[in-house]
Structure 1
Amino acid sequence: MPAASTAPYAERVTGVHPTDVEVPGLGTVLVLTLAPEDGSERPCTLGPAGLANVARAVADAGARAASSEVAAVVLTGTGRTFLAGADLHLIRSADHAAQVRELAEGGHEVVAAIADLPVPTLAHLNGSALGGGLELALACDYRTAVAGVRAIGLPETYLGLLPGWGGCTTLPRLVGPDTALTVIVDNPARNNRLLAAATAQEAGLVDAVLDVDGGPAAAVDWLRRVVTGEVAVERSSGDFTDEEWLAAVEARHPLAEAKAAGGAPAPARALKTVAASRTRTRAESFAVEDDALVDLVMTDQLRAGLYAFDLLTRRAKRPAGRPVDVGPREIGSVGVAGAGLMAGQLALLLARSLRVPVTMRDLDDERAERGLAAVHAQIDHAVTRGQLRPAEAEQLRPLLRVTTQLADLAGTDLVVEAVFEEPAVKQQVFAELEQVVGPQTVLATNTSALSVSDMAEHLAHPERVVGLHFFNPVAQMPLVEVVRAARTDDETYATAFAVAEACRKSAVAVADAPGFVVNRLLVRLLGEVLGALEEGTTVADADAALVPMGLPMGPFQLLQLVGPAVAEHVLVTLRENLGERYPDSPGLARVVAECRSFVLGEGRPSATSPVDPAVAELFGSRPLAEPRDAAGLLARVQKALAEETSLLLGEGVVGDVGDVDLAMMLGAGWPLHLGGLSPYLDRTGAAEDVTGSRFHEPGVASLPVDAT
C-alpha cells in the first residue's frame, strides 16, 4: 500500500540574539547568537523566517557600524551547533520553483550583507557548521572554531544539492579550487566525510582553533588581537591561475561522470558551477548558484534523496518495532559460540561496546587459540590505524578470552551463535547451550538467512531466542537486522535492540522469514543476473546493466566479495524456501567447484576490480534465441526487486516500506541519492508495472503531482 503523503510543514524558526561586549582597545563588539525561537535544543536551520531574522540583525549591525557604534561583529551559535544550514524539510516540501528561488536568493542576500559589513567580522564555530551554516561563516572576514568541533563541511552533493549560498563562489577564492572541490565534491562522495576543527584549519577554512572552555569571549579576544595586530592571520593570495582552476575541475570529471551515470547529477552540476565562478562577479556567480539549486531541487531524484536522508537521521535513531513498554535485560557478560572470523569480529565489537567480559568458545584448542589471536590482531590493527587508543586496547584485551569448555559460558547473560550456516548445526549449538546457561540468558543467532524459529523449535525456552544479524565487516557495517522468531518475547526483543544500540548500529525490526530483508533482495538481484547469464546474456552486458542503479560495486565484484560458495548456499536456500523466482545457476556451482573467480586480481575485490570475461564459459545452461541485453536485464532486475519488495510488505517481514529502504541503504549500500530502493522502483515505473501501484504517494519521495 502506498505511504501517506507528506503533511504540511511549518518552519522551525531560528532567532538572533544581539549582545554588546565592551572590549578594551577595540570598542563595542556586537555578538549575534543564533538560537531556536522556541527555546529547544535542536540544531538551528534557516528557512524564510529565520533568514529574515538574520537579515534584520545584520542590517542593524551594518547601521550601527556605519555610525561607529560597533567596532566588530561576531556571529556564533548555541549548544553543539553553529548552524546546520538550510531547513531541508522546507526544501523537501517545496512544490514550486519560486519557493526554492526565494530561499536561494534570501540566503545569498544574507551572505552578501555579512560580507559587506564595514567592520571586521568573525564567525565563531561553537559547534557543527554544515552547508548553509558554513557558507554564512565563509562570508565573515575570519573564522574560529572550538577544539572539539568535528562536523564542518559542505555536504550538499551527498544529498543531491550543491552549496547554494555562496559556497561554490566564496570557498574556491578563499582556499583555492582544489581544496574547495575536495570539500564540495570529494568529501561528500566519501560517505559524507566532514572536517574536524584542526583539519578545517589546515585546509584554510578556519583561522584559529580555540579552547573548548573559552566560549564566545575567547573568540572576541582573539578578534581583538587580530584587529590590533597582536596576531597575524596567514592567508593565500587568492590569485589562483586558470591552470589551477582547470586542473582542479578536470581531476573531478571522472567521479562526476560516474555519479551522473548512477543517477546523481549534483557533483557534475557543482563542478560546472565552481568553474563558472572563476570569471564572474559575486552577483553573477550567486545567480548561477540560484539557477543550479532550483534545477536540482525541482527533481524527483532530490526529493527521493531527502526522503532517504530523513530515514537515516530520524528512523534509524528510533527504530520502528522496538518494544516500548518492556525494558531490556542487563548484560554483564557475553558468550560467543564459535571463534572463526565472524565470531571474532562480534566478540571484539561486543567487548568494546558493552565493556563486559566476552568469552568465545570453539571445539578444540587450535581453533580457539587461533580465534583469540585473530581478535588480538584486530586490536593491534585498530591501534595502528588510530581507531583505538593504546590505553583502550589494553583495557579491552583482558575482557576477551577463549575456551573449549561449554560450561565456561554458563554465567553469561547473552550468547551469540556464529557457527556454520547449517540449520542442524545451529540447532545443536542452541540445544547444548540451553543445558548450561540460565533460563534468562538471551540466545542470539547471527544467521543471515536461516529460520530463527526453527533453531528455537525444540528448546525448553524458545522465547529467549532472537536473531541479531550483523553484517560483514562487523566494525564498519552500520546495520543490524533484529529478527523476531515465532515465540520471541518482548523482553528478549528489547534486549536485542539495546545491544544493537550499544554497538552504535542502526537496527531494523524484521520478522523471521527466509533471507530477512537485505539478503532476500540482494540475492534476488544477483539471481536475476546469474539467470540471465544462463540464458546467454554476455558478461559485458550483465556487468553494464546495473550501472544506472549507482550501486557501490557491480554484481560480479559483489559476488566475489561475498564469496561464490556463500552466494550459492544462500541462493539455494532461498530457492528451497521461496521458490523458482530464485533461479538455479549451474554456472555458479561450477565457479565454486572449480575455484574460479568472477574478477581478475588477487586479494579483496573492490568496485574497480576488472571482471574476468572468461567466466562466461561456465554459464549458458538455458540459452535463449534472443538473450537480454544490458537494458533488458536492468528492466528485469527492477521488476524482480519490485515484486520482492511487495512480497516482503505483504508477508509482514517489516512494518512498512521505510524499513526496506533503511535496510538496503545501511546493509547493501543502496545509494542515498536514489532515495533507497522503493522510490527508485516508483520512479522507474517498475512498482506500478508489477504491483499496479506505487510504494509512495507523489510528494513523499518525489515531486508533488502539481509541482511547477
Structure 2
Amino acid sequence: MSTTRVLVRDVELPSATAHRGGGTLALITLDNGADHRVPSTLGSETIAELTTVLRALAERAAAGEIAAVAVTGKPYVLAAGADLKGVSRVATREQALELGRGGHEAYTLLSDLGVPSFAFVNGVALGGGLELALNCTYRTVSGSVHALGLPETSLGLVPGWGGAYLLPRLIGIEAAVDVVLRRPAANKPLSAHEAAVLDLVDRVLDPADFLEQSIAWAAAVLRGDVVVERRELESAAEWDAVVGAAREQLDAVVGTSRPAPHRALALMAQARTATREDAFEAEDEALADLIMSEEMRASVYAFGLVTGAKRPAGAPDPVLARKVRRVGIVGAGLMAAQIALLVARRLKVPVVMRDLDDERVAAGLAHVAAEVDKAVRRGRLTPDAAARVIGSVSATTDLGDLAGCDLVIEAVTERLDLKKRVFAELEDVVGDECVLATNTSALSVTAMAADLRHPERVVGLHFFNPVAAMPLVEVIRAERTDDATYATGFAVTKALGKSAVASADRPGFVVNRLLVLLMGRIVGAVERGTPVAVADRACDVLGLPMPPFALFDLVGPAVGLHVLTSLREELGDAFPHSPGSRRSWRSRSRWSGRRRRRGVRAACCRRCRRCSTPRARVPVTHRWTRPGCWTTS
C-alpha cells in the first residue's frame, strides 16, 4: 500500500464584502496516490510528515500569514485509521509508546496552531482518521459519508490519539460509550447525519460541492457570522453512573477475554477531570500495553481474514455467476424461514418456501411475519419495506411451485438420504440452469449430488444460526461443481451482505470442524465429572459470543450429535464419543413425542404463545415456567 502523503496549498477565503479578502486558509490533503478503493492510512512516515507540516504552519500562523488550517482527504476518504500492518510489526513496548506519542504530538499541533483548525470530512474517517478530526477546532462532513467511527476496541486497541479523552467531552459520556464500545462490537459505524445528531460534527454539507461549501462555512466562522456552541459536561454523578453501567455490561459480555474494551472505558471514565496532558499520557500507556498483547495481534489477524473474505481467494470470475430472479427454499423450519427472510430483504426477489404440510408452511410464514414486525418496531424496516418483504415471501406444499426458480436452497433435516431425495425430485421440476444449493452443516455435497443428471450445478451454501446475525456463509465446492455454479454461490453470498468462506468438500467444512472439536472436548469433560457450570465458564477467556452449552442448546442436541458423529467417523478419535449428547437428544425426542400426542400445535413448540420467547433460547434442562407463559411441558 502506498504511503499517505501530506499535501498543502493555500486557499483564499471568501469575504463578506467584495472589496477585501477573507484571509488565507492552509488546506492539507491526505492522499496515498491510489484510487478511492484503497483508503489512505496513517503510518509512522505519514505522522512524521504531518508533524513537520504542522510545525511550519504554526510558524506561518504566528507570522500572520494564514488565518486558519484545514484538513481533508482524497475523494471519498479522509483516513481509514492507523496502518495496522505497521502496528503489528512493533517489536518492543518502547516502540509502541513512541507510536502513541508520535500521533499525539502531531494531533496536538492541530489544537495549538494559534489559529482555528477545521476538519473537512469528505469520506471514510475511522480510528486515527476520526481522531484527526476530533483534534481540530471545527468539523464539517459530507452528507454521503457512512463510515465514521472509532473501531479500535474491536481490534484489541483503544482510541489512542486523543479519542478516549476528546470524544466524551465533546458528545457526552453515554454517546461516547456507544461509539467506542457498542458500535465496534456490532460493526456499525456512524453516518454523517447520525454524527451530526450527536454533535460529533458541526455541519453536514451537500457532497456535490462539499469542499467549496466547507471553505465558505469556515470563512463564516472566522468572521463571526456562524457561532458553534459546545455542550456542557455532565455532572460527576451522571458520568459515573454511565461508566458504572457500561462496566457491568462489559463484565457480563466480555469478561476477561479482551482487555481493550475495559481499558478504553477506564480512559473515558477519567476524561471528565483529567488534563489533556495526563489523559494523552494515559492513552499512550494503554496503547503500548495493548499493542504488545496477544489479544491485539489475534484481533488484527482476524480483521485481515474478514477483510480478505470480501475478495475470497480461489473464487471464480464473478461474471460467470448466473442471474438470480426467483429463489426457492425447500423446508419451512427455523433455518429455512430465516434464509427466506434474508433473501427477500437483501436480494429483493420473490421467495417460495416449500414444506410437506400446511401446518409447517403456516409456521414458516408466521416466523417471517414475526421477524418483519420486530424489525419495523425497532426502526430497521419502514412499513413500506416491510410490506414488500411480506409480499415477496410465499409458501406451498407443491414442489412444482419451485419450477421457475433460478436458485433453490434445501434446508431440510441433516440426513443424506433425505437430501439426496430432495435434489432428485427437484431435478425433475426446475430448469437446467437452476442452481441447487444445500445448507448442510457437515454432510458431503459430492455424495448429495452423485446420482443427479446434472451434479455440476450443486453447491454448498452453509448459513449459520441465527442467519440475520452471523456474518459468514461457507461456500462449498463439490467434486463436480462447475465454475458458473460456484460463482453464483459467491455472488449470492455477497448480495446477501455476508462474508463468503471458500471451503473444499471435507468433513465439517471449516467452522464445524473447529467448533465441534471444541464442543466435544467440553462435553467430554462434563461426562468425566466436571460440573456443567465450571465447563460452561471455562471458555470465557476465549470471548465466545455465548457460553458453550447455550450454543449447544441453540443448535440442538440432534444436530450437534449428528455433526460430532459424522466427524468422528471421518476423522477418528480426535472427535470423542458423547453418550451424554445421545441421552440429551433421546430425552428431547421423547419430550417432543409427548407434546405431539397431546395435540399441541407445532408453532407453539417453537415459541411461547404469550411471550413469544423462542424455545431454542431456553436451556434444554429447563421447563416452561416463565411467569405468564403457557406451559408446554
Q: TM-score, normalised by structure 1?
A: 0.77
Deviation at 1:275, TM superposition (A): 4.3
Aligned to 1:392: 385
Deviation at 1:198, TM superposition (A): 2.6
Counterpart mapping for 1:659-698 below 5 A: none
Aligned to 1:230: 225
Aligned to 1:662: none
Aligned to 1:119: 115
Aligned to 1:137: 133
Provide, for residues 349-403 of structure 1, a one-character-per-residue CA deviation record: whole Å limited to 9, x for no partner.
2344334333322334444354345434443433333323333344445543333
Aligned length: 598
Deviation at 1:241, TM superposition (A): 4.8
8 Å contact from structure 1 (residues 43, 83) kept in 2: yes
Which segment is superposed worse, 190-199 or 530-539? 190-199
Deviation at 1:429, TM superposition (A): 1.0
8 Å contact from structure 2 (residues 414, 559) kept in 1: no
**In structure 2, do the counterparts of structure 1 residues 488 and 389 end up closer, same or farther at CA, with 3 Å as the change threshold?**
same
Q: 2:335 aligns with which of 332, 342, 362?
A: 342
Q: Does 1:24 align with 2:15?
A: yes
**In structure 2, do the counterparts of structure 1 residues 286 and 605 end up closer, same or farther at CA, with 3 Å as the change threshold?**
farther
Q: 1:460 aligns with which of 447, 453, 463?
A: 453
Deviation at 1:297, TM superposition (A): 1.0
Which segment is superposed worse, 127-136 or 384-393? 384-393
Q: Does 1:603 align with 2:596?
A: no
Deviation at 1:162, TM superposition (A): 1.2
In the aligned structure 2, how far is the partner of 1:274 from the partner of 1:585? 47
Which segment is superposed worse, 27-36 or 253-262? 253-262
In the aligned structure 2, how far is the partner of 1:222 from the partner of 1:165? 27
Q: 1:63 aligns with which of 53, 56, 59?
A: 59
Q: Bigger relative contact order, structure 1 or 2, given CA contacts below 8 A and separation 6+? A: 1
In the aligned structure 1, how far is the partner of 2:349 from the partner of 2:238? 54
Q: Does 1:308 align with 2:302?
A: yes
8 Å contact from structure 2 (residues 72, 121) kept in 1: yes
Deviation at 1:430, TM superposition (A): 0.9
Deviation at 1:256, TM superposition (A): 4.8
In the aligned structure 1, how far is the partner of 2:116 from the partner of 2:439? 59
**In structure 2, do the counterparts of structure 1 residues 243 and 452 end up closer, same or farther at CA, with 3 Å as the change threshold?**
same
Q: Which amino acid aligns with 1:18?
A: R
**In structure 2, do the counterparts of structure 1 residues 219 and 553 end up closer, same or farther at CA, with 3 Å as the change threshold?**
same
Aligned to 2:30: 35
Aligned to 1:371: 364
Aligned to 1:46: 42
**In structure 2, do the counterparts of structure 1 residues 57 and 528 end up closer, same or farther at CA, with 3 Å as the change threshold?**
same
Aligned to 1:74: 70
Q: 2:404 aligns with which of 400, 407, 411?
A: 411
Deviation at 1:276, TM superposition (A): 4.8
Give the secondary structure class of the aligned counterpart of 1:480: strand
**In structure 2, do the counterparts of structure 1 residues 611 and 234 end up closer, same or farther at CA, with 3 Å as the change threshold?**
farther
Q: Does 1:567 align with 2:560?
A: yes
Q: Which amino acid aligns with 2:470?
A: M
Q: 2:200 aligns with which of 205, 211, 222?
A: 205
Which segment is superposed worse, 72-81 or 476-485? 72-81
**In structure 2, do the counterparts of structure 1 residues 513 and 108 end up closer, same or farther at CA, with 3 Å as the change threshold?**
same
8 Å contact from structure 2 (residues 13, 216) kept in 1: no
Q: 1:295 aligns with which of 283, 289, 303?
A: 289
Aligned to 1:551: 544
In the aligned structure 1, how far is the partner of 2:204 from the partner of 2:559? 50
8 Å contact from structure 2 (residues 39, 80) kept in 1: yes
Aligned to 1:321: 314
Aligned to 1:14: 5
Provide, for residues 36-90 of structure 1, a one-character-per-residue CA deviation record: whole Å limited to 9, x for no partner.
2424322221122212332233233323322333222222223222222221111
Deviation at 1:612, TM superposition (A): 6.4
**In structure 2, do the counterparts of structure 1 residues 508 and 99 end up closer, same or farther at CA, with 3 Å as the change threshold?**
same
Q: 1:154 aligns with which of 142, 150, 156?
A: 150
Q: Percent identity?
A: 50
Counterpart mapping for 1:513-592 below 5 A: 513-592=506-585
Q: Which amino acid aligns with 2:295?
A: Q
Q: 1:422 aligns with which of 411, 415, 424?
A: 415
Aligned to 1:668: none
8 Å contact from structure 1 (residues 259, 267) kept in 2: no
Q: Which amino acid aligns with 1:218?
A: Q
Aligned to 2:496: 503
Q: Which amino acid aligns with 2:304?
A: D
Q: Which amino acid aligns with 2:202?
A: D
8 Å contact from structure 2 (residues 2, 33) kept in 1: no
**In structure 2, do the counterparts of structure 1 residues 496 and 173 end up closer, same or farther at CA, with 3 Å as the change threshold?**
closer
Q: 1:193 aligns with which of 188, 195, 206?
A: 188
In the aligned structure 2, how far is the partner of 1:540 from the partner of 1:401? 43
In the aligned structure 2, how far is the partner of 1:11 from the partner of 1:96? 25
Deviation at 1:136, TM superposition (A): 1.5
Q: TM-score, normalised by structure 2?
A: 0.86
Aligned to 1:481: 474
Which segment is superposed worse, 335-344 or 270-279? 270-279
Q: Which amino acid aligns with 1:118?
A: G
Provide, for residues 456-477 of structure 1, a one-character-per-residue CA deviation record: whole Å limited to 9, x for no partner.
1211221211111111222222
Which segment is superposed worse, 108-117 or 404-413? 404-413
8 Å contact from structure 1 (residues 11, 47) kept in 2: no
Deviation at 1:336, TM superposition (A): 2.0
Give the secondary structure class of the aligned counterpart of 1:213: helix
In the aligned structure 1, how far is the partner of 2:266 from the partner of 2:395? 57
Unaligned runs of 5+ in 1: 1-9, 615-708
CA RMSD of aligned residues (A): 3.0
Provide, for residues 582-636 of structure 1, a one-character-per-residue CA deviation record: whole Å limited to 9, x for no partner.
3333333333444489xxx9934899x899699xxxxxxxxxxxxxxxxxxxxxx
**In structure 2, do the counterparts of structure 1 residues 75 and 13 end up closer, same or farther at CA, with 3 Å as the change threshold?**
closer
Deviation at 1:159, TM superposition (A): 0.9
Deviation at 1:427, TM superposition (A): 1.1
Q: Which amino acid aligns with 1:158?
A: S
**In structure 2, do the counterparts of structure 1 residues 331 and 175 end up closer, same or farther at CA, with 3 Å as the change threshold?**
closer
Aligned to 2:605: none
**In structure 2, do the counterparts of structure 1 residues 506 and 97 end up closer, same or farther at CA, with 3 Å as the change threshold?**
same
8 Å contact from structure 2 (residues 155, 296) kept in 1: yes
Give the secondary structure class of the aligned counterpart of 2:320: coil
Deviation at 1:577, TM superposition (A): 4.0
**In structure 2, do the counterparts of structure 1 residues 412 and 277 end up closer, same or farther at CA, with 3 Å as the change threshold?**
closer
Q: Does 1:332 align with 2:342?
A: no
Counterpart mapping for 1:263-302 below 5 A: 263-302=257-296
8 Å contact from structure 1 (residues 169, 277) kept in 2: yes
Unaligned runs of 5+ in 2: 593-610, 624-633
In the aligned structure 1, how far is the partner of 2:244 from the partner of 2:365? 48
In the aligned structure 1, how far is the partner of 2:278 from the partner of 2:391? 63
Deviation at 1:225, TM superposition (A): 3.3
**In structure 2, do the counterparts of structure 1 residues 263 and 398 end up closer, same or farther at CA, with 3 Å as the change threshold?**
closer
8 Å contact from structure 1 (residues 76, 125) kept in 2: yes
8 Å contact from structure 2 (residues 553, 620) kept in 1: no
In the aligned structure 2, how far is the partner of 1:254 from the partner of 1:352? 35
